[in-house]
Amino acid sequence: MSLKVSNLTVHHGAIRAINDVSLEIPTGKLAALIGSNGAGKTTLLRALSGLNHPTHGAISWMDQSIIGIKAELLVRKGISHVSEGKSVVPELSVRENLELGAIWRRNKKESKESIETVVSIFPRLGERIEQRADTLSGGERQMLAIGRAIMSKPQLLLLDEPSLGLAPLVVEQIFQTIRDLTNSMNLTVLLVEQNAMGALKIADIGIVLNLGSVVISGEAKALIDDPAVRSAYLGY
Amino acid sequence: MQLINTILIGITAGSIYALMAISMVLVWRSTRVINFAQAGMALLSSYFGFEAVSKFGSFWIALPVAMIGGALVATLIEMILIRLLVKHSSTGPIAAVAPIIATLGLLGVIRATASMIWGGQDVRIIGPVSNDGFTVNGTTLVFSPLKLLILITVLVLMLILSIIFQKTNIGLALRASAYAPEIARLSGIKVDWVRTLGWALAGATGAVAGMFQTINGNGTLSPDSIDFSLLLVSGFIAAVIGGLDSLPGAVIGGLVLGLMISFVLMYISGGLFFIAPFVILLLVLFIRPQGVFGAKAARRA
């Protein structure tokens, strides 16, 4: 019952973006995947959700290999991916964006209940429920993107830079919500972040990726105190 | 009286253009292809309709037959031709041009096939009611019971389409796949099939446009019918006016185009029949190439 990646290699055209990566996230834990621009964080996340195809290696989720399964089918196995840059459909209303997350379950009643759950987590979305998503602020869009993922009733949540372009205060809120959701819904979370400090503070596990390979991994608290991590990624 | 007459005729023709524009927008939104074969698909569907009229003697049976036929033809084209094309021409200038050339070629193939099956001569589809104009206070109008019926049917169809798009899960999947295919996939939507569905809907809508274009004209159908060439051009212009991405835009584009042509023919010269649509297209492309509705303003439905 965990996410397990073994010896994964992913090519991005001719470039080897992910090189022989192995990692494991136990159920119910929040892992922060940090690293500089171009380290391969997004590529790794997209391989996990079926958006791109690894050239080598294995991925297993709940003791089942998920390699080669398309993204639209992985949702049905409890994997929800919030892609980079506020992954909402701007032309659709807030309600429609949320409904989208539950659309594959084909159950309007369950979908309505899930919307209530999401609105109780993000009351702001409730106030704007009939508005188009492109009228929302950056923070609200990120809430909507996470809300859409929650609508799928995931067990594994993959988040790609939710803090991108948000004001510090909003970032703090979003991070706190991610932590709370992990506990209350017993989610397994892989959080990709440039904001290394913010991510490590809420995470159980920290993984540092550099040039496509895992360079350090361990308890998040230990990583914050690690002098090498501090100088390279935390900036002090 | 002539003014009202002109408006009513314009709206009727415009509603048919709007249907054609809707089918082009549906295809554009699902696969980013301008489908010039749409006229051929509508022609083929109308021939199916003709067969059904001859067999059952009822236009109201023929119309759904044409729609189902159109949807099937569109489904086959998408699954066989377009999927292959998209797979093999993913980058470079070829990717932009190949589908257009392919649909133009397909138009020729469909017309030749129709000509092989039904021969080169005209066949006739008889409308459900008379196309003789209404008589008001002793003057006979061009606006007829048939035109009224066409107008009502198109409005009902548009209402049904907008309910499908706005109120159902299938409509939500169609819109999400068009605007944000990746988010749609991450939400568990099988985008490939939704694309095929978009084509099928376009095929059915185009079939209705073809049937109505035929009975609204002189009622005859032939493989190289000029009526269908005009339908293609008008549908394309209406779609461009509407911004190519918007269904409400396509409807308004169709009506505006129909009205403009109707006024030109009535008040300037009936001889401009073949020129007016092209002049309007050029004007739109010069003045507002992104369409009257702009890129995003009307992308809602």
Q: Taking CA atoms, what residue in A is nearest to B193?
A: A72
Of B172, B186, B296, the CB nearest to A96: B172
Assess whether pLDDT exceeds 80 at residue B88.
no
pLDDT tier, B134 (very low <50, low <70, confident <90, very high otherwise): confident
Q: Do B190 and A72 touch (CB under 8 A)?
A: yes
CA distance B183 to chain A (A): 7
Q: In the predicted model, is pLDDT for residue B298 greater than 60?
A: no
**Residue reference for tokens 């569905």:** B197
Q: Is the pLDDT of residue B300 over 70?
A: no
Q: Does residue A156 register a pLDDT over 70?
A: yes
**CA–CA distances in Å: residue A98 to residues A95, A144, A170, B14:** 5, 7, 21, 37
**Cα separation, A50 vs A62, whole angstroms:** 16
What is the CATH classification number for the domain harbouring B216? 1.10.3470
Compute the distance between CA of residue B11 and CA of residue B140 in angstroms, rounded to an integer.
Answer: 18
**pLDDT per position as a tens digit, A43-79:** 999 999 999 999 999 999 999 999 999 999 999 999 9
* Strand ranges for B118-193 from DSSP E: 123-124, 135-136, 139-140
**What's phi and psi for B251, nearest 5 deg?**
-65, -50
Q: Residue A234: what pLDDT?
A: 79
What b/e sequence results for A69-87 when a residue is b if at least 16 CB atoms lie within 10 Å of its CB, and e otherwise? bebbebbeebbbbbbbebb
3 state SS of A10: strand
B287 pLDDT band, cuts 50/70/90, is confident
> A75 vs chain B: nearest CA distance in angstroms?
6
Q: Is B79 on the interface with A (CB under 8 A)?
A: no
Which tokens hold the place of A37? 């621009």
Count interface pairs A-B at CB distance under 8 A.
71
Q: Per the domain annotation, does B299 fall within a domain?
A: no
> C-alpha angle with apex A65: A60 to A67, nearest 5 degrees?
95
Segment 207-226 of chain B within 8 Å of chain A by CB: none
Q: Tell me what pLDDT residue B297 has.
A: 44
Residue B195 sits at the chain A interface (C-beta within 8 Å)? no
Compute the distance between CA of residue B11 and CA of residue A11 in angstroms, rounded to an integer. 56
Query: Residue A161 in 3-state DSSP?
Result: coil
Counting every residue, how long is chain B? 301
> pLDDT by residue (tens digit) across A184-197?
999 999 999 999 99
* Cβ–Cβ contact B29 with A under 8 A: no
Integer-rounded Cα Rg, in Å, for chain B is: 19
Decide if pLDDT at B75 tops 80.
yes
Q: For the segment A213-227, what is each residue's pLDDT rounded down to a tens digit? A: 999 999 999 999 998
Residue A153: both structure tokens together: 């009733």
What is the pLDDT, as a whole number, of residue B89? 65
Which residues in chain B are contacts of A106 at CB distance < 8 A? Answer: 169
Distance CA A173, CA A169 (A): 7
Instruction: Assess whether pLDDT exceeds 50 at residue B296.
Output: no
Structural domain includes residue B294 = no
pLDDT band of residue B121 (cuts 50, 70, 90) is confident
Q: Strand A2-12 to strand A15-26: parallel, antiparallel, or no bridges (unpaired)?
A: antiparallel
Distance from CA of B248 to the nearest CA of A (A): 14
* Residue A207: strand, helix, or coil: strand
Contact A103 B175 (CB under 8 A): no
* 3-class DSSP assignment, residue A24: strand
Q: What is the mean pLDDT of chain B?
A: 89
**Chain A interface, best mutation among B177, B182, B187, B293, by max A CB count within 10 A:** B187
Residue B94 has pLDDT above 80, yes or no: no
* N-terminal to C-terminal alpha carbon distance within chain B: 36
Tens digit of pLDDT for each residue in B234-266?
A: 999 999 988 888 899 999 999 999 999 999 988
Q: Which of A73, A89, A99 is nearest residue B179 as measured by Cβ atoms?
A: A89
What residues of A are in contact with residue B186 (Cβ under 8 Å)?
A: 49, 51, 71-72, 75, 80-81, 83, 87
User: Per the domain annotation, does B85 fall within a domain?
Assistant: yes
Highest mean pLDDT among A60-69, B96-105, B283-292 belongs to A60-69
| Number of domains chain B contains | 1
Least CB–CB distance from B187: residue in A70, A75, A91: A75
> Do the beta carbons of residue B58 and residue B71 sit within 8 Å?
no
- Please give the radius of gyration of chain A, using alpha carbons only, rounded to the nearest integer: 17
**pLDDT of the residue at B293:** 67
- Please name the residues between 241 and 300 in chain B that touch chain A, using a CB distance below 8 Å: 296, 299-300
Length of chain A: 236
Burial class (CB in 10 A: 0-12, 13-18, 19+), A159: buried
Phi, psi of A83 (to 5 degrees): -80, 170
Sign of CA dihedral B258, B263, B268, B269: positive
**d(C-alpha A36, C-alpha A208), whole Å:** 9
* Phi, psi dihedrals of residue A186, rounded to the nearest 5°: 50, 50
- Nearest by CB to B172, which of A49, A99, A152? A99
- Band of residue B301 on the pLDDT scale cut at 50, 70, 90: very low
At A74-107, the pLDDT tens digits run: 999 999 999 987 789 999 999 999 999 999 998 8
d(CA A229, CA A222): 10
pLDDT of residue B239: 94
Per-residue model confidence as pLDDT tens digits over A109-139? 999 999 999 999 999 999 999 999 999 999 9
**Domain housing B161:** 2-287
| Residue B158 confidence (pLDDT) | 92
Is B193 within 8 Å of chain A by CB?
A: no
Contacts of residue B190 in chain A, CB cutoff 8 Å? 72
Cα separation of A207 and A223, whole Å?
9
Task: Quote the minimal CA–CA distance from A35 to chain B in Å.
Answer: 24
Average pLDDT, chain A: 94
Please check the confidence at residue B150 and state whether its pLDDT lies above 80: yes
The predicted structure's pLDDT at residue A1: 57
The number of C-alpha atoms within 13 Å of A121 and in the hemisphere containing its C-beta is 27
Estimate to the nearest angstrom the gap between the alpha carbon of B142 and the chain centroid. Answer: 23
Contact B187 A103 (CB under 8 A): yes
Give chain B positions within 8 Å (CB) of A100: 172, 176, 183-184, 187, 189
The Cα B173–Cα B154 span in angstroms is 24
**pTM for this structure?**
0.89
Domains of chain A: 2-87+153-234 (3.40.50.300)
Is B123 a domain residue?
A: yes
Mark B259-271 as b/e (b = at least 16 C-beta within 10 Å).
bbbbbbbbeeeee
CA distance B118 to B111: 10
d(CA A189, CA A193): 12
Q: Please tell me the predicted confidence (pLDDT) of residue B231.
A: 93
Q: Which residue of A has its CA nearest to B170?
A: A103
pLDDT-based confidence at residue B112 (cuts at 50, 70, 90): very high
For residue B225, being part of any structural domain is answered with yes
Q: What CA–CA distance (Å, rounded) separates A71 from B164?
A: 26
Decide if the complex's ipTM is over 0.90: yes
Residue B80 has pLDDT above 80, yes or no: yes
**Chain B stretch 38-57, residues whose beta carbon is closer than 8 A to a beta carbon of chain A:** none
Q: What does the alpha-carbon distance between residue A90 and residue A87 come to, in Å, rounded to a whole number? A: 9
